Structure 1
Amino acid sequence: MEAVAVDGITPQDVQAIYMEHLNAQGMMPMVLDMKRSRGVELYDQLSGRRLLDFFGFYASSAVGMNHPKMLSDKAFMERLTEAALNKITNSDVRTVHMARFLKTFYRVAMPDHFRYAFFIEGGALAVENALKAAFDWKVRKNFEKGYRREIGFQVMHFDQAFHGRSGYTLSLTNTSDPRKTMYFPKFDWPRVLNPKVVFPVEAHLEDIERREQLALRQAKHYFHTRKDEIACIIIEPIQGEGGDNHFRPSFLQALKDLALENEALLIFDEVQTGVGLTGAFWAHQALGVEPDLIAFGKKTQVCGILAGPRIDEVEDNVFHVGSRINSTWGGNLVDMVRFDRIMEIIEEDDLVG
């Protein structure tokens, strides 16, 4: 197979350049053929090998490489090029490209009963803005209850969670690899046992139920001892990096009930579980439990948060007050244009329930 060179750089040059300029430890020993790869078949430019993709770029590939409905769509390719030539600050400047994306997103991706969307670059920042929305909501709730100082800045989360590597999320992430969080400052936020399902469920049901009850007791204890301090409960509907850990819908519903009882918001981190991974567009739809906030990313290309009706229990929430949550770019327009077409493909081919 003839190796493709880009401006004189051949596939054989790639590893040396990466090692010279980056900490490239742990990277795959291959050079991806961007043109030849199709769907879940990836080609290595070094060896010519055809590889079956079980990786999906950290579960961020929605319809595989070089989908024919994308490559053959001239209008889409023109929109993609226009979006790529200039990086627009979507938080300030309107474009027909983003308007088209928004129409498709609200038609195809927006869950029933959800009202608001916010877009940003990066899954960790999506989670952070979900937390900020919850903090703002809880502090204002506490002011309404008579508090004269700001209170409501804690986040209940779970063992083996991965929610990102930035700011607030460092206090939540706790998987088996300590390098991702050690020596970085963290908040003392309440962490609860994760009563993950052990399969087959029937053979382990008694132990699963015991662990669920223990986790709920821990959560209730934290709500009791940290009264009005906990703004939200955050959980991945299926924990990814923590070990492909599943939870029973009844446990997730119990968390929702706890959040309602204690004036906290339930956040589902669907950065990895969204866009068809469970057969439904969002994992919570397959599980039958509706959260108050969703953090999304990866297969959506652009990241962000979605909010349901409970956010409007506070009139001046972050979706009503300008600049409470924002960023320079407001999400990447190229990603929006790409996901716009991906959603159309999902819709046209009926890929999710």
Structure 2
Amino acid sequence: MQSSVSRNDFDQWIVPTYAPASFVPVRAQGSTLWDQQGKSYIDFAGGIAVNALGHAHPDLQQALTEQATRLWHTGNGYTNEPVLRLAKRLIDATFADRVFFCNSGAEANEAALKLARKVAHDRAGEEKSGIVAFNNAFHGRTLFTVSAGGQPAYSKDFAPLPGNIQHAVYNDLASAAALINDQTCAVIVEPIQGEGGVVPAEPAFLRGLRELCDKHQALLIFDEVQTGVGRTGWLYAYMHYNVTPDVLTTAKALGGGFPIGAMLTTEPLAKALSVGTHGTTYGGNPLAGAVGGKVMELINRPEVMAGVAERHRWFVEALNDINQRLHLFSDIRGLGLLIGCVLNQDFSGKAKLFNQAAAAEGVMVLIAGASVIRFAPSLIITEQEVKEGLARFERACRAVVEGAGS
């Protein structure tokens, strides 16, 4: 077995479902990473909104290593102390009475959609099975969740897809109302479309969906995989909108980098998933429970939420300054530390180019579609890291602009 590996080995050994960056990170601390050559990168990507407390947070390290000396895994024939404590933290902090733990956002959404179908089947019969989702949504990569996601590019090659799923226009209540009826079992929606371009929902839109679901006895599912655990400046985005769903899914930041997902719901709905109706081998394992519990303890604090709002201002003010100088963005949008910069017509479709230029300058950013640059950094990123990262980002943007003009 060879001891040294490089980015080129990815192209030889890994199923080519990704096109990773040209560098390989090997070490990280806070919001800075270093690659195999020792080059530093400021992390504005956050592992796609996962590393909410940055990298190598000492309290998360301690929680993981202490649990690793005690109990790693038992399977779902047994429960464990860390996951029970995490469940109670989530219940105490949200609308929920019950929690189902899994390993990812896709699994959490799969569980939510299965719950909705099961509840409707038990209460009204098989004909009440319709699911309404939204164009440009993203809910995961399982066959069920990729079908609910409103991006045909991700699902068209895997037909036949699960049926009775329809897509309305996001932020268009009339479009949704035309599809929601008494045969609808669930409406699934992101309070902010992340992969779809960092598009926040309008408050009246979510309020209207709540009313339509109540009218037609359908479950309202909020996919908070990306917006949850403090990302928007509230523990969950539904709190910002003051619209309470029947089911909420969470993952990404919940483990701060350790794989975990969860579906939260109410007591009456949870009863539909009795013993044997759903499950997971690794979900709710002690390691994930211990880390997730520490994440919740550290993030669910007023000073952290206030810090997210402060960091939002740092980013937006600096990005507006960059835009005044370089004239790149038609809009800068989002909540908290989920921010999208929409490229103007001159640079439409070139988000990946900016992403690559940023990496060359030593800063990691995300894209959200072909024309939106996305930022999802640590919720506790330092002011110095923000300043340095945005200086590098401006150099990258300038390089793209100058390259386009040459």
TM-score band w.r.t. shorter chain: 0.7 to 0.9
Task: Give yes or no for the alignment of 1:131 onto 2:106.
Answer: no
Match of 1:265 among 205, 219, 236: 219
Give the fraction of aligned pairs with identical amino acids, expressed as a percent: 28
The residue aligned with 2:367 is none
Task: Give yes or no for the alignment of 1:221 onto 2:211.
Answer: no
The residue aligned with 2:288 is 335
Distance in 2 between the 1:247 and 1:30 partners?
A: 36
Distance in 1 between the 2:46 and 2:156 partners?
A: 25
Distance in 2 between the 1:253 and 1:278 partners?
A: 18
Match of 2:3 among 9, 13, 25: 9
Task: Give yes or no for the alignment of 1:298 onto 2:274.
Answer: no
Distance in 2 between the 1:40 and 1:292 partners?
A: 35
Letter of the structure 2 residue corresponding to residue 343 of structure 1: M
Asked whether the 8 Å contact 2:83–2:284 carries over to 1, the reply is no
Distance in 2 between the 1:174 and 1:182 partners?
A: 14
Asked whether the 8 Å contact 1:156–1:234 carries over to 2, the reply is yes
Distance in 2 between the 1:82 and 1:62 partners?
A: 26
Match of 1:44 among 31, 35, 40: 35
Q: Residue 165 of structure 2: SS of its match in structure 1? A: coil
Distance 1:178 1:346, change over 3 A: same
Per-residue CA deviation, residues 209-238 of structure 1 (Å, 9 max, x unaligned), is: xxx3xxx333333235xxx32101000000
Asked whether the 8 Å contact 2:133–2:188 carries over to 1, the reply is yes
Distance 1:161 1:20, change over 3 A: same
Q: How does 1:316-327 map to 2 (within 5 A)?
A: 316-318=271-273, 321-327=274-280
Letter of the structure 1 residue corresponding to residue 55 of structure 2: M
Asked whether the 8 Å contact 2:81–2:286 carries over to 1, the reply is no
The residue aligned with 1:54 is 44
Letter of the structure 1 residue corresponding to residue 269 of structure 2: I
The residue aligned with 2:201 is 247
Q: TM-score, normalised by structure 2?
A: 0.68
* Structure 1 spans left out of the alignment, 5+ residues: 1-6, 144-149, 196-211
The residue aligned with 1:33 is 26
The residue aligned with 1:209 is none
Per-residue CA deviation, residues 158-182 of structure 1 (Å, 9 max, x unaligned), is: 111101111211211233x715543
Distance in 1 between the 2:3 and 2:70 partners?
A: 26
Asked whether the 8 Å contact 1:142–1:152 carries over to 2, the reply is yes
Asked whether the 8 Å contact 1:80–1:338 carries over to 2, the reply is no
Letter of the structure 1 residue corresponding to residue 44 of structure 2: F
Match of 1:164 among 126, 133, 140: 140
The residue aligned with 2:77 is 92
Per-residue CA deviation, residues 81-137 of structure 1 (Å, 9 max, x unaligned), is: 444xx4321x21123333343344444xx40x3211001122111101101111111
Q: How does 1:176-215 map to 2 (within 5 A)?
A: 178-179=153-154, 181-186=156-161, 187-195=163-171, 212=172
Distance in 1 between the 2:44 and 2:26 partners?
A: 16
CA RMSD of aligned residues (A): 2.4
Distance 1:217 1:277, change over 3 A: same
* Structure 2 spans left out of the alignment, 5+ residues: 307-406
User: CA shift at 1:188, angstroms?
Assistant: 4.2
